[in-house]
């Protein structure tokens, strides 16, 4: 069991975040995910090689160096192949999404769910507002530096990317570094106690990296960078203000997961994706828990096909581009 202690829960309630070490095992839990990533990258590299976009498959390189090399030569972003969710626009019936068995096993890892249960209770829903982030070196990004999944992520609250239906939901963010996260390669940083007012700060559209709290609206407090090792996890409330640093290394890739869990039955804040969420743990009805990777994959693919046929624009946030604070 990895249930949080009363001291940890008190720290989380006071600070709005908590680093918990040794939740996941590198060999048992994380390496299988990298095996899936390696297979995905191999498929991407072979397609790019066939198209003439790269002159080598870079098969002799380890995963992160191969990822950087393939991106560097092709200049093409392919982070969607690794992502846990669909994009906000341009969804087609061919849009890639990562639905591997090892990833589902990590999402439903017993230690991870014990930690989540300590905060939100025993009926746990895996919210479909989740992402894989592959933070590439800033020097290699060029025009793609504004993409928050591979570049810097600006100051924001996770509450800010949800629709008002989730204003009274309890959405726990569990941030999982799959590779070492350092100050140099783009660690996450938080503003301690920024959740305390329970306030949703204004977010502005159109900024590099995604929605951004303007500097004039940021709460007081010294940002605290959080370097972390694989196996540890970071818990944040939906109101905690956080961002990432730039990846200033020459050849490192910071790989992480944004996972979110909430009590079953509460609105997710992204209703268009809600059908792909699932019961990760239920103490009262364990038969409702999803452990079948084929079913998990099918749920997302059915949703993808439905959204690909949708002609109406999808709505993912509540913000107005003309807000005075964003001028």
pTM over cut 0.85 = yes
**Residue 78 C-beta-side C-alpha neighbours within 13 Å:** 23
Structural tokens at position 87: 């994009």
pLDDT in the model for residue 139: 84
CATH 2.60.120.620 is held by the domain 6-31+100-309 = yes
Taking alpha carbons only, the member of 289, 302, 266, 306 closest to residue 104 is 289
Low-confidence ranges of the chain (pLDDT < 70): 1, 145-146, 148
Helices 31-51 and 63-74: angle between axes, nearest 10 degrees = 30
Using alpha carbons only, what angle is made at residue 136 by residues 134 and 140, rounded to the nearest 5 degrees?
150
Cα separation, 280 vs 289, in Å, equals: 5
Helices 6-15 and 110-120: angle between axes, nearest 10 degrees = 70
Using alpha carbons only, what angle is made at residue 48 by residues 47 and 51, rounded to the nearest 5 degrees?
90
Where do the domains of the chain lie?
Answer: 6-31+100-309
Structural tokens at position 244: 């990432």
pLDDT in the model for residue 128: 95
CB 209 within 8 Å of CB 149: no
pLDDT in the model for residue 145: 64
Using alpha carbons only, what angle is made at residue 207 by residues 202 and 213, rounded to the nearest 5 degrees?
25
Cα separation, 99 vs 259, in Å, equals: 14
Largest CA distance in the chain: 57
**For the chain, the helix, strand and coil percentages under 3-state DSSP, each to the nearest 5:** 35, 15, 50
Cα separation, 16 vs 319, in Å, equals: 24
pLDDT in the model for residue 203: 94
Which residues are paired to 243 by β-bridges? 189
């Amino acid at each position: 069991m990895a249930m949080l202690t009363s001291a940890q829960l008190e720290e989380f309630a006071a600070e709005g975040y908590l680093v918990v070490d040794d939740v996941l095992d590198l060999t048992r839990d994380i390496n299988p995910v990298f095996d899936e990533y390696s297979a995905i990258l191999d498929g991407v590299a072979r397609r790019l090689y066939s198209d003439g976009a790269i002159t080598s498959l870079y098969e002799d390189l380890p995963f992160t160096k191969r990822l950087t090399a393939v991106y560097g030569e092709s200049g093409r972003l392919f982070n969607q192949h690794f992502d846990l969710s669909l994009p906000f626009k341009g969804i087609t019936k061919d849009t890639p999404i990562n639905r591997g068995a090892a990833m589902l096993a990590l999402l439903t890892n017993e230690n991870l769910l014990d930690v989540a249960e300590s905060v939100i209770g025993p009926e746990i829903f895996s919210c479909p507002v989740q992402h894989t982030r592959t933070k590439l070196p800033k020097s290699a990004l060029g025009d793609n530096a504004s993409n928050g999944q591979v570049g810097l992520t600006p100051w924001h609250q996770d509450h800010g990317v949800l629709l008002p239906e989730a204003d009274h939901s309890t959405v726990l963010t569990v941030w999982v570094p799959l590779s070492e996260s350092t100050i140099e390669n783009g660690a996450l940083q938080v503003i301690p106690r920024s959740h305390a007012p329970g306030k949703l700060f204004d977010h502005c559209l159109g900024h590099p990296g995604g929605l951004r709290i303007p500097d004039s609206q940021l709460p007081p407090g010294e940002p605290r960078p959080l370097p972390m090792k694989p196996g540890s996890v970071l818990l944040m409330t939906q109101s905690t203000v956080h961002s990432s640093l730039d990846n200033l290394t020459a050849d490192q890739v910071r790989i992480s997961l944004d996972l979110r869990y909430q009590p079953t039955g509460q609105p997710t804040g992204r209703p268009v994706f809600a059908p792909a969420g699932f019961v990760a743990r239920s103490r009262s009805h364990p038969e409702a828990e999803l452990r079948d990777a084929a079913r998990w994959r099918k749920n997302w693919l059915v949703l993808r096909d439905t959204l690909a046929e949708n002609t109406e624009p999808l709505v993912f946030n509540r913000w107005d581009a003309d807000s005075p604070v964003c001028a």
